[in-house]
């Protein structure tokens, strides 16, 4: 296909595409749209930023126009599931943009905001529902939404939903759907759990694969800078001042780390904002709008929150913390160098643990990335040996103790608090963006936390009783 006009889409949709300046389809669109228009199930393997939303939204809108039916109260005809609030909002915006000349009802169901308004939006029934799995189940269980009229099901970013612990929620949702439906399933990677899920959901699907996850964008300049733990904030600020930055997206591993990086940048005179699961939905939306408009040039985010960031003009991606999953690195740097532009991806590496992550990344992308050493001579990090690359024989992975977040240069691990409640006993990864726990007893762990550990420790070492027959020591 050389043009969207070749797909034979309905005239209202074609007019909207012209207004959006959509001329030539991307590879995932060129392969998926003709299949989806025939009503066939599709499994699409494609990375973020390849145009997946239009690949499933356009044929769905066309088929809705072909068969206009008024939805029943508390039902929807199209159900789109995505892992994060931001991505869900962007998907709904895309549906509204492509269908601006079609009178279609739509609704958004995401966590982080009161559910009452979302319940009222579906009372009369809607044609398109975009939701995160946790909030959708909440609405179904409260009898605010029925899934027995779904004709089209879309799962976007399925691998990320697996990482976030949504797979059981998805299975519960699919069990409530009609057997006769069209399913469009998209994922950047296809691990065994995702492949099994796709097999159980789809009927004789067509498989479409573009831009394998092991490849990185050709126009991205990738650089590695080896630094000391304590020097990361200063070097990040220095890079953002020296590099020709239009918009920079900085990734951290934790929510607390994102806030800490923002404070350091602001102190260095660089305006920045953070976006992660602990921020309110209104704050996240305002921050994204400011970043998209250029009012904020530096955005600091965790991987989960950044999943829905689709902003043109990001010139730099900086890995303040290197991800421990190699595929995540590919997703991160794919945020830059879009639409034929150039981009820069810089990773700050400190300690043996992140060097091990780097080896895994280079093994995946099959490229040895150029390194720059900015470690202080004689420091502990500088004394660590550089990884040795051998053809077919990667160096053994070495894990070092993670430094305390409050004292980045310390060689000791983070101190555990024996008293108090809060979130101290639960890793941040155990909770969703919507606040739902991933594990079955995550809330119980949160309530007891380290305090319970300390109690067990005291009980396991009772006070020793004095021996009455023992002669006293003088």
Band (423; pLDDT cuts 50, 70, 90):
very low
Whether residue 9 is predicted with pLDDT greater than 70 in this model: the reply is yes
> pLDDT for 337-370, tens place per residue?
766 678 999 999 999 999 999 999 999 888 899 9
The residue ranges of every structural domain in the chain are 4-209, 220-383, 420-449
Q: Quote the CA–CA distance of 314 and 331 in Å, as a whole number.
A: 14
Band (160; pLDDT cuts 50, 70, 90):
confident
Q: Quote the CA–CA distance of 90 and 274 in Å, as a whole number.
A: 19
The average pLDDT across 32-54 equals 89
Q: Quote the CA–CA distance of 277 and 165 in Å, as a whole number.
A: 15
Class level of CATH domain 220-383:
alpha beta
3-state secondary structure of 39: coil
Go through 22-48 and write b for each residue having 16 or more CB atoms within 10 A of its CB, e for each that does not.
beebbbbbbbbbbbbbeebbbbbbbbb
Percent of the chain with pLDDT over 90: 53
> pLDDT for 250-281, tens place per residue?
999 999 999 999 999 999 999 999 998 788 87
Whether residue 456 is predicted with pLDDT greater than 90 in this model: the reply is no
Q: Quote the CA–CA distance of 156 and 52 in Å, as a whole number.
A: 8
At 88, phi and psi to the nearest 5?
-60, -45
pLDDT for residue 87: 87
In CATH, the number for domain 4-209 is 3.40.50.300
Whether residue 233 is predicted with pLDDT greater than 80 in this model: the reply is yes
pLDDT for residue 326: 86
Is 177 or 427 the better-scoring residue by pLDDT?
A: 177
Q: Quote the CA–CA distance of 278 and 205 in Å, as a whole number.
A: 38
pLDDT for residue 177: 96
Whether residue 197 is predicted with pLDDT greater than 50 in this model: the reply is yes
Tell me what the pLDDT averaged over the chain comes to. 81
Helix (H), strand (E) at residue 256: helix 255-267
> pLDDT for 295-336, tens place per residue?
999 999 988 767 667 777 899 999 999 998 887 888 788 888
Q: CB 315: neighbour CB atoms within 10 A? A: 18
Half-sphere exposure in the Cβ direction for 27 (13 Å, CA): 11
Whether residue 387 is predicted with pLDDT greater than 90 in this model: the reply is no
Q: Which residue has the tokens 């959509």?
A: 22
Asked whether the whole model's pTM tops 0.75, one would answer no
Band (228; pLDDT cuts 50, 70, 90):
very high
The average pLDDT across 82-88 equals 88
Is it true that 4-209 and 220-383 share their CATH fold? yes
Among the ranges given (134-148, 255-269, 420-434), the one the predictor scored with the smallest mean pLDDT: 420-434
pLDDT for residue 10: 95
Q: Quote the CA–CA distance of 315 and 330 in Å, as a whole number.
A: 16
């Amino acid at each position: 296909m050389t043009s969207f006009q070749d797909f034979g889409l309905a005239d209202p949709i074609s007019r909207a595409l012209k207004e959006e300046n959509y001329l030539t389809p991307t590879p995932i669109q060129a392969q998926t749209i003709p299949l989806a228009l025939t009503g066939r199930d599709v499994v699409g393997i494609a990375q973020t930023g390849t145009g997946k939303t239009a690949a499933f939204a356009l044929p769905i809108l066309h088929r809705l126009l072909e068969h206009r039916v008024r939805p029943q109260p508390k039902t929807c005809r199209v159900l789109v599931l995505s892992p994060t609030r931001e991505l869900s909002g962007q998907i709904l915006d895309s549906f509204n943009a492509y269908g601006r000349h079609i009178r279609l009802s739509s609704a958004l169901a995401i966590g982080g905001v009161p559910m009452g308004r979302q319940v009222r939006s579906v009372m009369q029934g809607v044609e398109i529902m975009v939701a995160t799995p946790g909030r959708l189940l909440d609405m179904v269980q409260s009898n605010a939404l029925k899934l027995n009229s779904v004709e089209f099901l879309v799962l976007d970013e399925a691998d990320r939903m697996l990482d976030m612990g949504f797979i059981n929620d998805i299975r519960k949702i699919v069990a409530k759907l009609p057997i006769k439906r069209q399913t469009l399933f998209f994922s950047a990677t296809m691990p065994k759990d995702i492949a099994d899920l796709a097999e159980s959901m789809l009927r004789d699907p067509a498989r479409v694969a573009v831009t394998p996850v092991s490849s990185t964008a050709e126009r991205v300049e990738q650089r590695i800078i080896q630094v000391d733990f304590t020097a990361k904030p200063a070097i990040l600020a220095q890079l953002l001042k020296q590099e020709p930055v239009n918009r920079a997206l900085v990734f951290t591993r934790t929510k607390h780390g994102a806030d800490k990086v923002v404070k350091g940048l602001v102190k260095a005179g660089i305006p920045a904002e953070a976006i992660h699961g602990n921020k309110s939905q209104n704050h996240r939306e305002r921050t994204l709008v400011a970043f998209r408009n250029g009012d904020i040039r530096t955005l600091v985010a965790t991987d989960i929150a950044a999943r829905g960031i689709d902003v043109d003009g990001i010139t730099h991606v900086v890995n303040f913390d290197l991800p421990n999953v190699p595929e995540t690195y590919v997703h991160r740097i794919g945020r830059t160098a879009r639409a034929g532009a150039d981009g820069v991806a810089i990773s700050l590496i400190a300690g043996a643990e992140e060097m091990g992550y780097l080896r895994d990344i280079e093994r995946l992308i099959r490229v040895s990335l150029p390194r720059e050493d900015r470690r202080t001579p004689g420091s502990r990090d500088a004394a660590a040996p550089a990884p040795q690359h051998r053809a077919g024989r990667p160096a053994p992975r070495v894990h070092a103790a993670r430094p305390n977040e409050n004292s980045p240069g310390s060689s000791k691990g983070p101190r555990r608090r024996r008293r108090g409640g809060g979130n101290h006993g639960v890793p941040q990864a155990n909770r969703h963006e919507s606040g739902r726990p991933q594990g079955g007893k995550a809330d119980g762990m949160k309530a007891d936390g380290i305090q319970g550990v300390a109690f067990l420790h005291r009980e396991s070492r009772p006070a020793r009783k004095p021996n009455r027959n023992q002669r006293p020591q003088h």
